[in-house]
A and B are shown apart, each in its own frame.
Chain A
Amino acid sequence: MALEIHLISLILVFPIVGALLTYILPLKNRDTKIVAVVMSIIPLILSTMLILGVLTDFVDLTQEGDFFAVEKAEWIPQVGINYHIGADALSAVLVFLTSLLVTLALIHSWDETHRHREFNAMLLFMQTTIIGVFVSLDSFLFFMFWEVGLVPMYFLIAIWGGPNKKYAAIKFFLFTQAASILVLIGIFAFWFSSDPHTFSMVAFIENNPIGAASQDLLFIVMMFGFGTKLPMVPVHTWLPDAHVEAPTAGSVLLAGVLLKMGGYGLIRFNVQMFDSVSDWVWVMFGAIGVISMVYGAFVCLAQDDLKRMIAFSSISHMGIVMLGISTWALGGSQIGMAGAIFQLFAHGLISAALFMIAGSVGHNLGTRNISELGGIAPKVPKTAGFMMVAFLASLGLPGLVGFVAELSVFVGTWEAFGLWIFFPIISIALTAGYYLFAMQRAIFGPYNETLEDPKDLRTFETVPLAVLTFTFVLFGILPILLMDKIFEWVAAL
């Protein structure tokens, strides 16, 4: 029996209701938090059902074409705008990731007391908008969620951020706003060219209405639009500032899922819709990916602030996504494309853990600067232990989740580009270099006595990290859980 309960709509509604409840109800910090966590766990359960339904047969979902649990209703029929949502393997994975990270981020920020009602409301509000992006099948709806999603993140940085928060928030907003305009140009170009006019993404995927002559230019426009969010070099500089200033929960969601919106957009629009893009454009696309990988890794090596270092590592790791996509486009490598999608998921988990650790270090030890730490391992063993696990996962240790994606993308790179593989692979060596260099200085060596009263992780910080560590191992050892359907999805492209 197929599930007829508007599954995806419920996933979208619960967080926003939760946001309103936490904002309106005059509760104490602790009670607000409980409401918020509960209201995020419900969509997490629903998202789990969704991913099970899409990837396995455990949950039976209605299917319509390539998409599951599709819902469609007219919204503004005069111009062909519909409330049209649904999920396939690509979006189900990301929806699950988002729901998981929001719950964990809420738990991890248990002791955030400054304007706590607004804080929790913003996080939940953001969940709705991000998931909305992943499930929209109508490009206008997609753009609406995309735009509205900027607002809670802007406020998270601007209100709960660090000393330079206003600058970072404005920079974040302006950058992503500029990118949105590029995306909007793309969407309207699709609308104007389609006949009859429609915003339906399903229709665009089936048949790109844009003439072959203008596909290259429009592709580049949208690449910069989504690429800014990813982010790719050279439009990445908003990210380090945003991360450094954002509160921990904000950083977790920013790196964990907001960046994935860029990757999702690239795959959904640039990959699925464009069908006659010149090779040179794809070469440029892959080259930007490689430059991001190597350049980002080099910059990491010079960073002192843990958060800034991790931010640049995100840039480097998102370059892998672009490289993976280009191996599919230029060399027909399915494993490279599957690796790119898996990297979105893997990096979401890993970067969330990295930012939780960095946030806790800053909070509990009073500084995030590597040069001001030193020898903390015996004082705060849990912090050091989780930091090491997260670092090792991020540097692509075999057996953990990040490696699966890297390996797949590099297999694709060899298939498509042969010996060019030596350029992107430099970043692997550099990544190991900056993480080990950071660990050597921050957690090993003699204890830095100037650190006053170091505190180790508290329970509400340990639990999310333990959950994430479990996922590293689970999906590192059994990537087949996701990869099976991702491969099928790629094969159907």
Chain B
Amino acid sequence: MAFLLSILFGKKVWEGGAPFTIGAIGFSFVVSLYLFIDVLGQGALGGGVQVEIIAFEWIPGIEIGLLIDNLSALLLLLVSFLCLLIAIYSAGYMHDEDGKPRYYAEIALFTAGMLGTVSANNFFQLLIFWEVMGVCSYLLIGFWYKKPEAASAAKKAFLVTRIGDILFLIGIIVLFVTFNTFNILEIQESADQIPVHLVAIVPLLLFGGAVGKSAQFPLHVWLPDAMEGPTTVSALIHAATMVKAGVYLTARSFPLIANSPDATLVVAVIGGFTAFFAATMALVAMDIKRVLAYSTISQIGYMMLGLGAGAYLYHHGHEALGYTFAIFHLVNHAFFKALLFLGSGSVIHSVGTNDMRQMGGLHKHMKITSFTMLIGALSIAGIPPLSGFWSKDGILEVAFEAGMNDPSFLIIWILGIITAFMTAFYMFRLWFFTFTGEKRSPGEPHKSPKSMTIPLIILAAFALISGILTFFMDGFGQLVFFEQAHGHAVEEIIHVFTNPLTFLSIGMAGLGIGLAYLIYSKRSISSNVFVSSKGTKAIHNMLVKRYGMDWAYRMFGLKIAYGFAKVADFFDRKVIDGVVNGTAKGGLLVGKASGFFDQKGIDGAVNGISRGIVGGGRSLRRSQTGNIQGYLAAVVLGICFVIAFAWIYIKITGG
């Protein structure tokens, strides 16, 4: 299976325009589809398929190759499919933009990076493609680089994720030194042989990379700003694919995490807290894309929570259900979040603003967008039988189960339940704000072209049925699992609907939708109550200011790092160079005494004294030009001196 192609073809379209990119990604989709079916055909359902292809040696001891198993086959399919849809959508959305070849080249390179990431057979190669994605993300966020906000957001995204990448880098270095390999399978197999003092550090270092890439607390600050890029980019990179790479990485290091209960707890706490934390900020955001960005952060938090809780249970001898549900949620989320982003892109394209306060009443103007987004919102809110319900509910159940063993997980579970409520609320706030009520936008909203609505419909179909679809494969647990397959379709459905927890989370979602309806559609509760009443005003302000974290980061960068740099620069120019110039001046005085320099040189030196340390350089320049002969004489004498010195030195120390 020479599927190296499926990574490399993306780069071939460097110069190409839209058709070329779409064609290339389409090709990759076909390859991935074939691969996926091939993996299924080899008995992936209920059993595992693992194929490794070694391509070549990179530096001695490091081999580059591909790893195709259930997980990577599924993600290859998902990524190439979404990239294809969004590339098609872009044909409509980016129609009037300059720099389209650049855009499509970067999208193609990104696709290659993402496919390479999920098919790498070793952590090292994963890191390379991981960074390729990072660069594409940087370039695409800054696509409208004339806008200072875009240039700044791009820098912020790269730098913040870079902090995570450094931890990741250290992590794989430690792995390499410990196991003498980067190979994922080999490391997974020998995961339990890791030395005790590294058992918690290594998975957490890797997780650090995931935190940066997947915008988890405390490195989440870049993602909302990344919305400065084109909406297609937000949909593809900052919702559906790249930000999931962190989840993928965490899943790949699952056995390492499961080794250490401390690490599982950290992963789950970061995930659960991020889910909650980001959802609170989504409650008050007014920019339609930022609401979705916070929502993405929050949903990825769920996935991390699933992985952490799953690893905890696995450590204590249970099935690794959390792993399955986290990946399941990843797939579902990719569909409905891409749908929501593309829908909002369609709205922005038509209204010409991101601000929800200037939208409203758009339902009758753009019915397809409105309906598809409604499906997306219902799905993310967790209303059965839409896709989001199955996976989110699974994750919460795993967290609850872990909570039965360790009360810390119970707290996380409660956060998760509250988040489910908030998710439903903010998502329907968005929908009601945009599509119902009076029209607030100036000008006539126009319909979106077919190339934009057809991908919306396809995505909506998946958001609708991707949950149910898996039951035809005997449940998602048969497709992606860690070590052993879980459950069968029928048992699973029965289990879900006999579990009281299921109804709690559906109830929370319903409550959220209802509240949003009352406030933003019927307007029987004024949202101003929350904004202006004394008790909640402070909270509202805090949320609007994003808990002050962006401010804190900026201050750190600007005042501390840049301030320190200024001090270092000053030190370099004045102190070190001051010593240098001072020494040179001293040398000139000695020169004067020994008569090496002619009258001009003496003058220069004498003038130099009065000029202080900085001026010293200038006087040095004046006095020394034209005195090379004298200088050379000094050199010759110096060399004689050196030889003599070396001789005496050796004699004394007895060499």
Where the two chains meet, the residues of A that have a C-beta atom closer than 8 Å to any C-beta of B are 164, 166-167, 170-171, 174-175, 177, 181, 184-185, 188-189, 192-193, 209-211, 213-214, 234, 237-238, 240, 295, 298-303, 338, 375, 377-378, 392, 397-399, 403-404, 407-408, 410-411, 414-415, 421-422, 425, 428-430, 432-434, 436-437, 439-440, 443-447, 478-480, 483-484, 487
B363: Cβ under 8 A from any A Cβ = no
B621 within 8 Å of A (CB atoms): yes
Please tell me if the beta carbons of B135 and A392 are within 8 angstroms of each other in the complex. yes
The distance in angstroms between the C-alpha atoms of A65 and B561, with both chains bound, is: 51
Q: Is B60 touching A487 in the complex (CB atoms < 8 A)?
A: yes
Contact among B59, B159, B617, B647 with A408 in the assembled complex (CB-CB below 8 Å): B59
One of B231-239, B533-541, B544-552, B637-645 contacting the partner:
B637-645
Q: Are A398 and B166 in contact, with the CB atoms below 8 A?
A: no
Rounded to whole angstroms, the CA-CA distance of A242 and B651 in the bound complex is 39
Q: B621 and A214: CB pair below 8 A?
A: no
CB nearest to A174 among chain B residues: B584
Q: Which residue of B lies closest to A185 (CB)?
A: B646
Q: Which of B177, B624, B639, B646 contacts A411 (CB 8 A)?
A: B177
Residues from chain A with a CB closer than 8 A to the CB of B564 are 298
Bound complex: CA of A436 vs CA of B621, how far in Å? 36
Q: Is the CB of B565 within 8 A of A302?
A: yes
> Beyond the given A444-B145, A483-B60, could you list 13 further A-B residue pairs with CB under 8 A, ordered by the A residue number?
A167-B617, A174-B584, A188-B643, A189-B646, A298-B561, A338-B59, A375-B146, A378-B146, A407-B173, A429-B166, A436-B159, A440-B155, A444-B154
The residues in B between 125 and 183 inclusive whose CB is less than 8 angstroms from any CB of A are: 127-128, 130-132, 135, 138, 142, 145-148, 150-152, 154-155, 158-159, 162-163, 166, 169-170, 173-174, 176-177
CB distance from B12 to the nearest CB of A (A): 14
Max chain B C-beta neighbours (<10 A), residue from A192, A422, A443: A192
In the bound complex, residues from chain A placing their C-beta under 8 Å from that of B128 are 398-399, 403
In Å, the complex CA distance between A167 and B625 comes to 9
- Report the separation of the CA atoms of residues A486 and B518 in the bound assembly, to the nearest whole angstrom: 71
Residues of chain B with a CB closer than 8 A to A432's CB: 158-159, 162
A399 contact set on B, CB distance < 8 A: 128, 131-132
Task: Flag whether B497 is at the interface (Cβ < 8 A).
Answer: no
B60 with A480: CB separation less than 8 A: yes
B52 at interface by CB-CB < 8 Å: no
Q: Give per-residue flags for B576-602: 1 if the beta carbon is below 8 A from chain A beta carbons, else 0.
A: 110010001000000000000000000
B-chain residues with CB within 8 Å of residue A210 when the two chains form the complex: 655
Say yes or no: B655 contacts A209, CB within 8 Å.
Answer: yes
Point out the residue from A295, A433, A445 that lies within 8 Å of B561, measured CB to CB. Answer: A433
Contacts of B611 in A (CB 8 A): none
Provide the bound-state CA to CA distance between A292 and B621, in Å: 28
Taking the closest CB of chain B, its distance from the CB of A126, in whole angstroms, is 19
Would you call B568 an interface residue if the criterion is a C-beta within 8 Å of the partner chain's C-beta atoms?
Answer: yes
Across the interface, which residues of B come within 8 angstroms of A415, CB to CB?
A: 177
Contacting residues, chain B, for A193 (C-beta < 8 A) = 650, 655
B154 cross-chain contacts in A, Cβ below 8 A: 440, 444
B568 touches A295 (CB 8 A): yes
In the bound complex, do residue A184 and residue B639 qualify as a contact, i.e. CB atoms below 8 Å apart?
yes
- Contact residues in B for A407 (Cβ distance below 8 Å): 124, 169, 173
B572 touches A299 (CB 8 A): yes
Tell me which of B56, B561, B643 contacts A430 (CB under 8 A).
Answer: B561
A211-B653 in contact (CB<8A): yes
Q: In the docked arrangement, what's the CA distance between A210 and B154, Å? A: 56
Interface status of B3 (Cβ within 8 A of chain A): no
The chain A residue sitting closest to B644, CB to CB, is A188
In contact, B58 and A480 (Cβ under 8 angstroms): yes
* Chain A residues with CB under 8 A of B130: 398
Q: What are 19 sample pairs from A and B whose C-beta atoms fall under 8 A apart?
A: A166-B621, A167-B620, A170-B624, A192-B650, A211-B655, A299-B565, A302-B569, A378-B146, A398-B127, A410-B169, A422-B170, A428-B166, A433-B557, A433-B561, A436-B138, A437-B155, A440-B152, A479-B58, A484-B60
Chain B residues within an 8 Å CB radius of A299: 565, 568-569, 572
B residues contacting A by CB (< 8 A) are: 56-60, 124, 127-128, 130-132, 135, 138, 142, 145-148, 150-152, 154-155, 158-159, 162-163, 166, 169-170, 173-174, 176-177, 557, 561-562, 564-566, 568-569, 572, 576-577, 580, 584, 617-618, 620-621, 624-625, 635, 638-639, 642-643, 645-647, 649-651, 653-655
**Which residues of the other chain, B, contact A425 by a CB distance below 8 angstroms?**
166, 169-170
Q: Which residues of B contact A403 (CB under 8 A)?
A: 128
Instruction: Kindly state the separation between the CA atoms of A192 and B646 in the bound complex, as whole angstroms.
Output: 8
A466 to chain B, nearest CB (A): 14
Specify the main secondary structure of chain A where it touches its partner.
helix
**Given A166-B621, A399-B132, A432-B158, do A192 and B647 touch, yes or no (CB 8 Å)?**
yes
Complex Cα spacing A407 to B61, Å: 14
Q: Which residues of A contact B620 (CB under 8 A)?
A: 167, 170
| Contact present for B176 and A411 (CB under 8 Å) | yes
Residues of A within 8 A of B651 (CB): 192
The reply to whether B565 and A301 form a contact with Cβ atoms under 8 Å apart is: yes
- Residues B169 and A414 in contact, CB atoms below 8 Å apart: no
User: CA A175 – CA B147 in complex, angstroms?
Assistant: 45
Which B residue sits closest to A428, measured CB to CB?
Answer: B166
The closest CB in chain A to the CB of B58 belongs to A480
Is B145's CB under 8 angstroms from A377's CB? yes
- CB-CB < 8 A to A303: which residues of B? 569
The answer to whether B647 and A302 touch across the interface, beta carbons within 8 angstroms, is no
**Structural contact, B580 and A171, CB atoms closer than 8 A:** yes
> Inside 8 A of A237's CB, which chain B residues have their CB?
572, 576-577, 580
Residues of B within 8 A of A436 (CB): 138, 155, 158-159
Which residues of A sit under 8 angstroms from B169, Cβ to Cβ?
407, 410, 425, 428
B131 and A429 contacting across the interface, CB-CB below 8 Å? no
Give the residue of A298, A421, A445, A487 whose beta carbon is less than 8 angstroms from that of B151: A445
Asked if B170 and A404 make an inter-chain contact with CB atoms under 8 angstroms apart, the answer reads: no
Contact assessment for B135 and A397 in the assembled complex, using a CB-CB cutoff below 8 Å: yes
In the complex, which residue of chain A has the Cβ closest to the Cβ of B624?
A: A170
CB distance from A293 to the nearest CB of B (A): 13
Closest residue on chain A to residue B652 by CB atoms: A214
Q: How long is the Cα–Cα vector from A299 to B130 in the complex, in angstroms? A: 29
Complex: how many Å from CA A478 to CA B577?
Answer: 41
Determine the chain B residues whose CB is within 8 A of the CB of A487 once the complex forms. 59-60
Instruction: Report chain A residues within 8 Å CB of B132.
Output: 398-399
Q: How far is the CA of A213 from the CA of B649 in the complex (A)?
A: 12
> How far is it, in angstroms, between the C-alpha of A175 and the C-alpha of B583 when the chains are bound?
11
What is the distance, in angstroms, from B242's C-beta to the closest C-beta of chain A? 15
Query: In the bound complex, what is the Cα–Cα distance between A214 and B654 (angstroms)?
Result: 9
B625 touching A166, Cβ below 8 Å: yes
For the complex, give the distance between the alpha carbons of A234 and B577 in Å: 10
B642 contacts A446, CB within 8 Å? no
Cross-chain contact B170 with A410 (CB below 8 angstroms)? yes
Roughly how many angstroms separate A430 CA and B557 CA in the complex, as a whole number? 10
Residues of B within 8 A of A437 (CB): 155
Question: Complex: how many Å from CA A403 to CA B131?
Answer: 11
A189 and B58 within 8 A (CB): no
Q: How far is the CA of A237 from the CA of B170 in the complex (A)?
A: 32
| B127 shortest CB reach to chain A, Å | 5
What are the residues of chain A within 8 A of B162 when measuring CB–CB? Answer: 428-429, 432
Within the complex, which residue of B59, B170, B565, B646 is in contact with A298, where a contact is CB–CB below 8 Å?
Answer: B565
Pairwise interchain contact B562-A302, C-beta atoms closer than 8 A: yes
**Bound state CA distance, A478 and B625, in angstroms?**
49
A247 to B152, alpha carbons, bound, how many Å?
33
Q: Which residues of the partner chain B approach A189 to less than 8 Å between Cβ atoms?
A: 646, 649-650, 655
Are A301's CB and B562's CB within 8 A?
yes
Of B146, B158, B576, B580, which is within 8 A of A445 by CB?
B146
How far, in Å, is A244 (CB) from chain B's closest CB? 12
CB distance from B573 to the nearest CB of A (A): 8
* B-chain residues with CB within 8 Å of residue A184 when the two chains form the complex: 639, 642-643, 646
Q: Are B152 and A185 in contact (CB-based, < 8 A)?
A: no
Tell me the nearest residue of chain B to A181, going by C-beta. Answer: B642
**Cα A429 to Cα B173 with chains together (Å):** 17
Q: A211-B653, A237-B580 are in contact. Are A444 and B151 (CB under 8 A)?
A: yes
Expressed in whole angstroms, the Cα–Cα distance for A392 and B134 within the complex equals 11
